[in-house]
Amino acid sequence: MSNPELIIEAAGVTRTYRVGTAELNVLRGVDYQVQRGRWACLLGASGSGKTTLLNILGALEKPTAGTIRVGGVDLSALSRRSAAHFRNRSLGFVFQAYHLLPELSMLENVMLPGLLAGNSRSAVRGKAEELLARVGLSGRLKHRPSELSGGEQQRASIARALINDPELLLADEPTGNLDSATGNGILELFRELRADHPQRSIVMITHNRDIAALADQVDELADGVLRRL
């Protein structure tokens, strides 16, 4: 039975990669629970499987074994098509390298997931303008990603992640490419956005223990399993 207070319930998650004849057991039985409204951080050495786990939680990748519910939805039961729908409607992704589409303006980048969700262009445009203002980019609507600083691109990618009001934000080292002052600004933005929507949950990968100190919950991935710190 699914617990409505949990945004994430994962049990016994394993992920094995086969490379040639070798087997790489990256996740060896991960149990993970995050309550709704929590900011959870994942720590772990490079190569420990953090991105692999985040991709599995985000229905981008299937585990080798184990069960995962996100917002009560059993991810293993989703077809590719319904997984794509679920990602677009319920999740927001923020990546270290922003992943904005270079040929689109900031406004178009932020609007895109809203249009893919089938909402009207005028409604999505209004929401995107609001979100870009919220992240301090009102003056950059027509800029392309290459015309913005790294911190500005990350702000835009956060606005994009929020366009469909996701219940869960998944962030993979969102400050990893930024200097510390700019990175602190991004973290402050996450804090403010969370205060706007206390029911929204965040899972953030970081290498930075100062960032982890801001979180409600910190788990470390090592040897294929998670340990609560």
Ligand X SMILES: Nc1ncnc2c1ncn2[C@@H]1O[C@H](COP(=O)(O)OP(=O)(O)OP(=O)(O)O)[C@@H](O)[C@H]1O
**Site residues (vs ligand X, CB under 6 A):** 17, 19, 24, 26, 44, 46-52
CB of 219 to ligand X, least distance (A): 13
- The pair of structure tokens assigned to 201 is 């949950």
Q: Which of Mg ion, ligand X, none interacts with 174 (beta carbon under 5 to 8 A by kind)?
A: none
Residue 171 CA to its chain's centroid (Å): 3
CB of 172 to ligand X, least distance (A): 7
**Is 41 within 8 Å of 190 (Cβ atoms)?**
no
Angle between helices 106-116 and 121-134 (to 10 degrees): 130
Select 47 or 118, whichever has its Cβ closest to ligand X: 47
CB of 24 to ligand X, least distance (A): 6
CB of 63 to Mg ion, least distance (A): 17
Select 107 or 170, whichever has its Cβ closest to Mg ion: 170
Rounded CA-CA distance 89/61 in Å is: 17
Positive/negative CA dihedral, 155, 170, 59, 150: positive
Select 49 or 66, whichever has its Cβ closest to Mg ion: 49
Closest CA to 187 of 52, 58, 36, 39: 39
Stretch 44-63: interaction string toward Mg ion, x if CB under 5 A? -------x------------
- What's the burial of 136, exposed, middle or buried (CB within 10 Å: 0-12/13-18/19+)? middle
Select 109 or 154, whichever has its Cβ closest to ligand X: 154
Size of the site for Mg ion (CB under 5 A): 1
Q: Which of Mg ion, ligand X, none interacts with 79 (beta carbon under 5 to 8 A by kind)?
A: none
Positive/negative CA dihedral, 70, 71, 72, 76: negative
Q: Which of Mg ion, ligand X, none interacts with 87 (beta carbon under 5 to 8 A by kind)?
A: none
User: β-pairing, 65-70 with 73-74?
Assistant: antiparallel
Backbone φ and ψ for 42, nearest 5 degrees, come out as -115, 125
- The answer to whether 201 contacts Mg ion (rule: CB under 5 A) is no
Q: Which of Mg ion, ligand X, none interacts with 49 (beta carbon under 5 to 8 A by kind)?
A: ligand X
Select 43 or 187, whichever has its Cβ closest to ligand X: 43
Select 16 or 119, whichever has its Cβ closest to ligand X: 16
- List residues near Mg ion by CB under 5 A: 51
